[in-house]
Amino acid sequence: MFTSQINLSDSQLCGLNWKGEGTYTVEGIAAIADALKVNASVTRVDVRLNGITGEGASQLSAAVLANANIEVFNEIPIKEMRANSLTELDLNEKSIGTEGGMVVAGRLPAMASLTTIDLSANSLGDEGVIALCDALNESKVTQLKLEVSDNRIESAGFSALRNARRREVEINF
């Protein structure tokens, strides 16, 4: 089978390097998101280590979730997530970023068989964590262990995590 890949990891797509140095712009990510909305041949996309946040992360995650041909995004096994064939999702230290957290969150409500998610050390930030917590509120998952330590989480993210812990969810942060 032919696999079409886009690898733009650590490419300063938003004007930032992996350390977060530079001036953030959303134009490059918006253009990639627009292309992914209409491209039927791309199956793998990697944009890790680009410091994508805000509107750029939202646009990109929405485009990835809407494109049924994408099988892997930032090392996230989208194809298996769509098939609801996972009980464990181990993305520890994969650098999936805020956009990756949003993609996982977008698939989470339909993944009833999932029992464990390890997203530690992924630079999710508050935006990625809040998206995950919102998805947990919509999720069919009855019992879940979620690991989100070492993700640049600040007060808004911690607040969302504390609220999500009220469900049948074990969260380590």
Q: Measuring CA to CA, how many Å separate 106 from each of 6, 27, 60, 65, 147?
A: 21, 23, 12, 7, 17
Pairing of strands 144-147, 116-118: parallel
Which listed CATH number (1.10.3470, 3.40.190, 3.80.10, 2.160.20) goes with 4-172? 3.80.10
The alpha carbon of 133 is separated from its chain's Cα centroid by a whole number of angstroms, namely 12
Whole-structure pTM value: 0.92
CA distance 54 to 16: 14
Pairing of strands 42-46, 4-7: parallel
- Helices 125-138 and 155-164 cross at an angle (nearest 10°) of 20
User: pLDDT tens digits for the chain (173 residues)?
Assistant: 455 999 999 888 888 777 778 888 899 999 999 999 999 999 999 999 998 999 999 999 999 999 999 999 999 999 999 999 899 999 999 999 999 999 999 999 888 888 999 999 999 999 999 999 999 888 877 688 999 999 999 999 999 998 886 666 788 88
Reading phi first (left if > 0) and then psi (alpha if -120 to 50, else beta), residue 121 is in left
- pLDDT tens column, 81-113: 999 989 999 999 999 999 999 999 999 988 888
Identity of the amino acid at 148:
V
Angle at 132 between CA 155 and CA 110, to 5 degrees: 165
Neighbours of 88 (CB within 10 A): 11
Closest CA to 130 of 57, 36, 49, 26: 57
